Amino acid sequence: GAGVSQSPRYKVAKRGQDVALRCDPISGHVSLFWYQQALGQGPEFLTYFQNEAQLDKSGLPSDRFFAERPEGSVSTLKIQRTQQEDSAVYLCASSFSGSGYTFGSGTRLTVV
């Protein structure tokens, strides 16, 4: 597609519920990143894929967070047993070379 597509755009989850957030990167983009953006803050790195390989997951806040990109294209960020502090916008970005990447519009997750 023309841009990075994320779904759903909005997600309300009850505390303790599992959620899955999807990212469709720009076709042919090798690198894919997930960021978490709290209200009024800059995005914070979560994890990075090059094709299907997860090369850096140092930003994942806990073992409740899990990301995958099994075929080197679509990626899913899964959060298990959601907590209120997980409420944020989750941004996906992709790039061909690792710099100058394109962000999606994000998924706004609200945990109630």
Partner 1 sequence: QQQVKQSPQSLIVQKGGISIINCAYENTAFDYFPWYQQFPGKGPALLIAIRPDVSEKKEGRFTISFNKSAKQFSLHIMDSQPGDSATYFCAASRANQGGKLIFGQGTELSVKP
Positions touching partner 1 (CB under 8 A) are 4, 31, 33, 35, 40-45, 48, 50, 55-56, 91, 93, 95, 97-106
Helices (H), the chain: none
**What is the smallest separation between the CB atom of 81 and partner 1, expressed in angstroms?**
27
Six token digits for residue 35: 């960021």
Is the peptide bond prior to 25 cis by the omega test (within 30 degrees of 0)? no
Q: Which is nearer to partner 1, 79 or 91 (CB)?
A: 91
* Cα–Cα–Cα angle for 88, 98, 47, rounded to 5 degrees: 35
Q: How many residues does the chain have?
A: 112
**What is the smallest separation between the CB atom of 16 and partner 1, expressed in angstroms?**
28
**What is the smallest separation between the CB atom of 35 and partner 1, expressed in angstroms?**
8
Residue among 35, 65, 31 nearest 49 (CA): 31
Q: Which is nearer to partner 1, 5 or 17 (CB)?
A: 5
Q: Which is nearer to partner 1, 3 or 16 (CB)?
A: 3
